[in-house]
Amino acid sequence: MEQPEMKKLAAERAVQFVEDGMIVGLGTGSTAEFAIRKLGAMVKGGLHIQAIPTSQKSKKLAGEFEIPLIELDDTVEIDVTIDGADEVDSNLNLIKGGGGALTREKIVAYHTKKLIIVVDETKIVKRLGADFPVPVEVTKFAWAATKKTLIDLGCTAELRTIMDEKFITDNGNYIINCDFGPISQPEVLEKDINAIPGVVENGLFINLADLVIVGSRQGLMTLDQQITGSD
């Protein structure tokens, strides 16, 4: 089975957790897109949901499928969010932000009752940071000074570019990719990064995921808080 098929398998399993009347968070990235497309088909078939997208890209896709969208305001509690990840460890902690949507993704995840992460088997790691840098969204103002402070935390850091242009997030900020290597205490690092002035948010998602659905060559696997616990 190829990687896109594994992603689709996981995403379409996750969509089965969505029930009529729910408020649903829509993630960002190629795996989350499979979930949005499936939800779109279900809405066409009569499912009633209201959705909150985590990026302009997901908003556009949801709009194409006529999924009703609402704002995340102070009256809203999100029932379930389906999102992808770049790395997942055995404690269900994550690195996210490969698509640059980490800030909105983390806000939506925080306000969600059940966060379901959908990935293919290549995303499962022993230690976060082994293969994927931690994306950090920073203000444009003084970004180079912020980058220097991030390096002082013990990483190599690179401003994210796309086709030689600086990548700009939906919030109008930059992203600095911070390679810490394997991270021994992700919960400490998440707080340390966010304590730096100029940092808007970082891609370490700690204790937010409730369920991880993994598409693998052998089929579907799930990891949840009960079975993995913390070690």
> What residues from 27 to 66 belong to the interface with ligand 5RP (CB under 6 A)?
27-32
Select 150 or 204, whichever has its Cβ closest to ligand 5RP.
204
Q: How many residues bind ligand 5RP (CB under 6 A)?
A: 18
Near ligand 5RP by CB under 6 A: residue from 12, 86, 190, 210:
86
Active-site position among 105, 137, 190, 201: 105
Instruction: Reply yes or no on whether 105 is catalytic.
Output: yes
Question: Smallest distance from the beta carbon of 106 to ligand 5RP, in angstroms?
Answer: 10
* Contacting range for ligand 5RP; rule: CB under 6 A; set: 13-21, 24-32, 56-64, 191-199: 24-32
- Among the residue ranges 77-85, 187-195, 207-215, 222-230, the one whose residues contact ligand 5RP (CB under 6 A): 77-85
* CB of residue 86 to ligand 5RP, shortest distance in Å: 5
Minimum Å gap between C-beta 96 and ligand 5RP is 4
State the Cα–Cα distance between residues 208 and 186, nearest whole angstrom: 13
Report in angstroms how near the CB of residue 21 gets to ligand 5RP at its nearest: 26
Give the x-and-dash track for 105-144 against ligand 5RP (CB under 6 A): x---------------------------------------
Residue 96 engages ligand 5RP in binding (rule: CB under 6 A) = yes
Q: What is the 3-state secondary structure (H, E, C) of the chain?
A: CCHHHHHHHHHHHHHHHCCCCCEEEECCCHHHHHHHHHHHHHHHCCCCCEEEECCHHHHHHHHHCCCCECCCCCCCCEEEEEECCCEECCCCCEECCCCCCHHHHHHHHHCEEEEEEEEEHHHECCCCCCCCCEEEEECCCCHHHHHHHHHHCCCEEEECEECCEECCCCCCCEEEEEECCCCCCHHHHHHHHHCCCCEEEECEECCCCCEEEEEECCEEEEEEHHHHCCC
Burial of 34 (0-12, 13-18, 19+ CB in 10 A): buried
Cα–Cα distance for residue pair 67/139, rounded to 1 Å? 32
- Binding ligand 5RP (rule: CB under 6 A), the pick from 25, 53, 99, 215 is 99
Active site (catalytic) residues: 105
Q: Footprint of ligand 5RP on this chain (CB under 6 A)? A: 27-32, 83-86, 96-102, 105
